[in-house]
Amino acid sequence: MNQEQTETFEVLFQQKLLPLLQDLENKRKSLVPPLRISIVFVILPFLFILFLPTPKTTTQIDTQSTISLILILVLFIAIIAILIIYFKYERKISRPFKKSIVPPLLALVNENLEYSPTGSISEAVYKKVNLHGKYSLYHGEDLISGEVSGVPFSLCEIHTQRSAGSNSDGKTKYKTIFEGFFLEAKFNKPFLTRTIVCARGTKPRELKNILSYLSSTLERIHLEDPDFENLFDVYGDNQTEARYILSPSTMERMKALQQRMGTRVEFSFLEEQLYVTLASRVNFLEPRFFKPITDDGYLKDYLYTLNLILEIIEDLKLNDQLGVNTSKPDYL
């Protein structure tokens, strides 16, 4: 955050956000003790069942069956209680937080940003972006859209998972494929083919499946910058157009961005749009539960993260419009 933004934040926090947060904090405080108790009542029955001695007589079997039944009942009630608390948290804290606290925070970054807590960039877009592995569940939230330096963009949090067998109780287990931010912005050059910049040692999704691999037009593109090649593996439909998109200056900016973000950053260029994914485990724009929410530190962190992501648009100079036509280039 720059100095001006910090000062505006301080004023906004003290005058507008703090009274609202105080109200939410009281609700949070009322939910924490029952949740803690419920968690204890989930853990304890487990431990009891685990350490029950092996029954030797019929009486012991009967007693232990009764105890187990009671424990399972306690466990069931505790789980129900946790679910009720969770829904209360959603209704009384999370939703009001996203409705009243997040929009003024976003306005600090840019007054024209639109925010939808349940919205996301569509799964169809994520699918065609071709990054990461095969997935079976797609969830997106916290959609922020608008313009930065005249460049239209959308940003949201996404979480993709893949089923990975099932538990002993028959429930499907899920493995996280990607968790983090997904940015879509208009690219500053006209182009027609796909160029995918994956993290080093990874491939586009299309090349991970034997059937799509055989019909794929993507090929590995070796670029002349060894530092760039150490960070990324580039795949594209067209060798010349990939180099047109990834000019030496763009590659420099992408390297700097990767270093500044300090996380796995990947890019996909298609249909004149740039898509960027940034791996992150931060639950963005959510109120905290086990820590006081009247503390301004985590709100500042959200602002810092948002600024950092939106700076990608300026870092990559996407506002520096080049080219006027979208006709098919002669080399295609």
Partner 1 sequence: MSLIIPIAFCLLVFLYLGIYNTVIRRRNAIDQAWASIEAMLSKRYDLIPNLVATVMQYMSHERELLDSITQLRTQAQAANSKVPEGVMADDALTKSLSGLLVSVENYPDLKANASFVQLQKSWMEVEEQISAARRFYNAAVVQYNNSIQVFPNTLIASIHSMKPTETYEAEAIAHERLNAKELFS
Asked if residue 240 binds partner 1 (CB under 8 A), the reply is yes
Q: If DSSP codes are grouped into helix, strand and coil, which group holds residue 138? A: strand
Shortest separation between residue 260's beta carbon and partner 1, angstroms: 24
Nearer to partner 1, 197 or 261 (CB): 197
Interaction between residue 15 and partner 1 (CB under 8 A): no
319 sits near partner 1 (criterion: CB under 8 A): no
CA distance 274 to 185: 5
Footprint on residues 241-260 left by partner 1 (CB under 8 A) = 241-244, 247
Number of residues written out for the chain: 332
Q: Is 329 in the site for partner 1 (CB under 8 A)?
A: yes
Among 223, 279, 282, 308, binds partner 1 (CB under 8 A): 223
Task: Kindly give the pairing relationship between strand 265-270 and strand 195-199.
Answer: antiparallel
- In this structure, the strands spanning 219-221 and 195-199 are unpaired
- Applying CB under 8 A, which of residues 68, 212, 239, 294 lies at the interface with partner 1? 239
- Region binding partner 1 by CB under 8 A among candidate stretches 6-14, 128-136, 193-201, 317-325: 317-325
92 lines the binding site for partner 1 (CB under 8 A): no
Q: Considering the rule CB under 8 A, would residue 186 count as an interface residue with partner 1?
A: no
Looking at the Cβ atoms of 25 and 241, the one nearer to partner 1 is 241
The answer to the question of residue 323 lying near partner 1 (CB under 8 A) is: yes
Residue 60's identity, in one-letter code, is Q
Task: Report the Cα 187 to chain-centroid distance in Å.
Answer: 22
Which tokens in the block code for residue 199? 């993290």
Show contacts of 14-22: CB within 8 Å, 24+ apart. 16/104, 17/101, 17/104, 17/105, 17/299, 18/294, 20/96, 20/100, 20/101, 21/101, 21/293, 21/294, 22/294
Decide if residue 286 touches partner 1 (CB under 8 A): no
Is 237 near partner 1 (CB under 8 A)?
Answer: no
Determine if 328 is a binding residue for partner 1 (CB under 8 A): no
Q: Does 272 bind partner 1 (CB under 8 A)?
A: no
Considering the complex, state which of residue 34 and residue 329 has its C-beta at the smaller distance from partner 1.
Answer: 329
Taking the chain, what is the end-to-end CA distance rounded to the nearest angstrom? 44
208 binds partner 1 (CB under 8 A): no
**Helix, strand, coil share (%) of the chain residues, nearest 5:** 50, 20, 30
Q: Contact positions toward partner 1, by CB under 8 A? A: 189-190, 222-224, 239-244, 247, 321-325, 329-331
